[in-house]
Amino acid sequence: MKETVSSVVIKKEWDIVGARQAGRQLSQELGFGSVDQARIATAISELARNIYLYAKEGEITFEELYDLPKVGLKIIAKDKGPGINDLSAVMEDGYSTSGGLGAGLPGVKRLMDEFDLVSDEEGTKVTTIKWARP
Amino acid sequence: MSSLRSDMQDYKDLLSKYLETKDEAILYQAEQFSKQSIQQNISPDEIVNVHYQALKDIYPDLHEQIEGSFKFLIETMISYGLAYQEHQVLREKQIELKSEIGVAANMQNTLLKTSVPKTHAIDIGVKSVPAREMNGDYHHFIKDEQGNVGVAVADVIGKGIPAAFCMSMIKFAMESFSENQIYPQWILDSLNRVVSRNVEQGMFVTMFYGLYDVYTHQFYYASAGHEPCFILRNETREFEEIDAKGLLLGVESAVKYEQLNTSIHEGDLIVLLTDGVTECRVDGRFIEQEEVLNIIKEHEHLNSQEIVEYVFKYFERLQDFQLRDDFTLVVMKRNSSLSV
Ligand SMILES: Nc1ncnc2c1ncn2[C@@H]1O[C@H](COP(=O)(O)OP(=O)(O)OP(=O)(O)O)[C@@H](O)[C@H]1O
Ligand SMILES: [Mg+2]
């Protein structure tokens, strides 16, 4: 069962901050602890920055999940950019251009509980979920 | 995660004790705690959070600014946490790779195994030690139906796994040659064709090939851009350099190699080697070829295997037990007819 859906358009670098802000607000309301809030914010940054850098334009959508007693936050990053060629290479540790910072898409996967990635020439869609620890 | 919770209690106890007593013993326990946390893959951001939670428990009315500062710190630690976790994964991968290379090196040793021919005419010793796990040097012995002995010493330009692949190919090519075709020129001509056909540009092999005729005591030899070899003449007590013109294997497919020969007299000693022996560097200077040869000369009275073992030990020690390059040394001594 899902409820409130909200979204932030990513176009300028500044929008990354807006997306973080929105995500933090929601995660606070859902009762995530400080570390998880920070993890969610970092994941949002990574996803939003990829949109800003590689697709120029896109959208981050948030869904509150109430799978009682579990409560979670779903984050979808979607764009109509050029897409990612070699998905398994991108998901390999040590691949991202930042090399060795552990960030990038594998980092997002680590920060969150569930992760899915679909990408072709039409664009990229990353779906991830974090569950609040009761 | 449940262990994190019990550790959390420990951490809180340690912290409050420390704040009371400032005792060094508790700092020591903190050190143990951090080691344990690393073992359990607990990342730095989590530790900061444990500290923050403990502090809130000990001082329920913590100043708002302090709380805020911890949230700030946790935020800045998240990327350290990720880098730490990635590091763990890469470390595991590295261990895996290392063990795979270990297996490959073992396979290489089995594949490239060659036994030293036993013959009453000459006494043969050989020592080949890789600098890293995979050996880029190669040596091979052949004994034909008449009992003549062929010996090859080779060095791939390049190291590690690619070099090892290349060597395996050469070994199988050599094994496919019939036992009556072991004249140096023929062998190098044929090997050169194999290498140029099968190896990508940029991978070259140097080889010195010798054939010892045990009836006439002629030593036939040819070289594909390899280090010169040496004969310690019993009569003069001097080393004589033996070398033949020839391009490295794999440079050009239609090369003809030069073949020369020399007579070996009783007590003469033939030395075949790779540049890992003559170019081994110690404290920024190259060890002179002469130094190698002198050591061999000084220990000439030993049998051939003892000589090569001795030379190797000597160089290993000179290089602080860390070989910079693959080391291969073959010594062949013509026995005096009295001892036959
Ligand atoms: N939304 C996207 N559209 C198109 N290509 C993308 C997208 N997201 C990622 N990529 C491609 O995937 C690669 C890996 O992305 P990832 O975020 O893992 O690392 P990075 O952006 O290169 O470096 P880092 O994020 O660590 O600074 C990128 O270099 C880019 O080529
Ligand atoms: Mg990125």
Average pLDDT by consecutive 10-residue portion of chain B (340 residues)? 68 94 92 89 91 94 93 93 88 90 85 86 90 81 90 84 82 82 90 85 86 95 93 92 90 90 94 75 62 88 93 80 78 76
In 3D space, the residue among B266, B212, B220, B257 whose CA is nearest the CA of residue B242 turns out to be B220
Integer Cα distance of B113 and A126 in angstroms: 53
pLDDT in tens, B235-264: 999 999 998 989 999 888 888 999 999 999
Q: Which CATH architecture has domain B2-104?
A: Orthogonal Bundle (1.10)
Q: Boundaries of CATH 3.60.40.10 in chain B?
A: 116-339
What is the predicted pLDDT for the residue at B340?
Answer: 43
Question: Taking a contact as any Cβ pair under 8 Å apart, which residues of chain A between 19 and 48 contact chain B?
Answer: 33-35, 38-39, 41-42
Q: Which residues contact B126 (CB under 8 A, 6 or more apart)?
A: B116, B139, B305, B308, B328, B329, B330, B331
Integer Cα distance of B253 and B44 in angstroms: 59
Report CB contact under 8 Å: B85, A41.
no
Task: Quote the radius of gyration of chain B (alpha carbons, Å).
Answer: 31
Domains and CATH numbers, chain A: 4-131 (3.30.565.10)
Q: Is residue A131 helix, strand or coil?
A: strand
pLDDT in tens, A112-130: 999 999 999 999 999 999 9
Number of H helices, E strands in chain A: 4, 5
Q: How many angstroms does the Cα of residue A55 sit away from the middle of ligand 1?
A: 10
pLDDT in tens, B312-328: 888 888 776 766 677 88
Candidates 3.30.1330.30, 3.60.40.10, 3.30.365.10, 1.10.760.10; CATH matching B116-339: 3.60.40.10
**Ligand 1 site residues, Cβ closer than 6 angstroms:** A 46, 50-51, 54-55, 79, 81-84, 90, 96-98, 101, 103-105, 124
Q: Boundaries of CATH 1.10.1240.30 in chain B?
A: 2-104
Q: Among the residues of A2-33, which ranges form H helices?
A: 14-29
A111 touches chain B (CB under 8 A): yes
What is the number of the ligand 1 atom nearest to the C-alpha of A99? 26
Q: Which of B52, B78, B83 lies closest to A39 in CB terms?
A: B78
Report CB contact under 8 Å: A93, B90.
yes
